[in-house]
Structure 1
């Protein structure tokens, strides 16, 4: 069976923009990371842009490559849901939610970079969209991600991945990102239901 990838611009532009921004910041190098990384002490000095920008920079090329592969896989799985503005809004909100959750609930995590937290949120949002569209694969993907997060929270992260990216794997970011993606989907779904309800009332 041949699977058609969502290659049309309206499905691929959002992930492409995100990938290009991450690659460009990586090429800028250490100055970009120093200025943009999530840093608890810098946030306490009101450098609030780091709540979003920290998700765009990476520790090294392997870290960037792993996250770009993850982004590519998400696009292949759920790209048909990724209208450019919608995708970028979801990324920003998942990034912000992940970083705020780290700040509020994981004070031991002083420094954080990378797409992985936000990608977990986008994954959950996409799986929920599949479920909404009556695709059984959505339940399988969501269940698999839940198992992954539970294993991370109970058994810790992969030492091999930590060595590869030259940093500890921020498993709390994965958890927070996934929760943010679920909440974002729920809010968007409820908003759509409310809009449809009031539209129907006006026509009645």
Structure 2
């Protein structure tokens, strides 16, 4: 689909949650010194019961480059797939991807003591968009889905780009990308099943 001003996903349903996440990430950056100590994903503190860090750590970033990279990706995904978003599905997608990403890191990557950033969740959002493309018979969805899994596999085998690590002044948490994508995949499968059941029940009620 070629993007023009006319087909931009500017409806409130398509934009509200994206704008909210955008602004929350900026606020977290502006007040980083005040909030980071209480909100960052930190394995030891989560282990002591501070479970909110499984979610809030995704809004924090290591530096301005890290923030700008993630916010740019957030906007690009909205431009690409925003027409599939609603306040409800995007909220649930974000929460599911964020929590599965963090829980996956906690149990599957115990060497990751601290993590910040939206990149894991963004992989989940990307996954949802690709699957929705496929659902709506857009063949680019297959390319996007294949591409994101190839990227994740490459990172798992060879590690992340040194240039990106240098840019964000931190080690790229490749396992966050993996678990965020898993979260997006699981949400997308559940979303399709629920929608299919809803359409079936609607047809029965009209029959």
**Shared fold, TM over 0.5:** yes
Within the alignment, does 1:181 sit opposite 2:184 as a pair?
Answer: yes
Which of 6, 21, 40 does residue 9 from structure 2 map onto? 6
Q: How many residues align?
A: 204
Deviates further, 110-119 or 80-89: 80-89
Secondary structure (helix, strand or coil) at the match of 1:64 reads helix
The 5 A counterparts of 1:43-192 are 43-192=46-195
- CA deviation map 1:48-79 (0-9, x unaligned): 00011011111111110000011011011101
Shift of 1:201: 4.3
Alpha-carbon offset, residue 144 of structure 1: 1.1
* 8 Å CA contact 2:70, 2:117 repeated in 1: yes
- Structure 1 residues 135 and 168: CA distance shift in structure 2, 3 A: same
Q: CA deviation digits over 1:67-121, x for unaligned, max 9?
A: 0011011011101011123212211111011001111111111100000000000
Structure 1 residues 2 and 148: CA distance shift in structure 2, 3 A: closer
Q: 8 Å contact 2:127–2:181 — kept in the other structure?
A: yes
Structure 2 length normalisation: TM-score?
0.93
Which consecutive residues of structure 2, in runs of 5 or more, have no partner in the other structure?
none
Distance 1:31 1:95, change over 3 A: same
Instruction: Name the CA distance, whole Å, in 2 between partners of 1:130 and 1:82.
Output: 12
Contact 2:32 2:60 survives alignment (8 Å):
no
Is residue 194 from structure 1 mapped to residue 203 from structure 2 by the alignment?
no
Q: Is the 8 A contact 1:33 1:58 kept in 2?
A: no
1-side partners of 2:47 and 2:87: how far apart?
33
Instruction: Tell me whether 152-161 or 186-195 shows the greater mean CA deviation.
Output: 186-195
TM-score, normalization by structure 1? 0.94
Q: Report which stretch shifted further, 85-94 or 66-75.
A: 85-94
Q: Any idea what the Cα deviations from partners look like across 1:117-152, whole Å, max 9, x if unmatched?
A: 000001001110111011111111111111111111
CA contact (8 A) 1:127 1:141 kept: yes
Q: CA RMSD in A?
A: 1.5
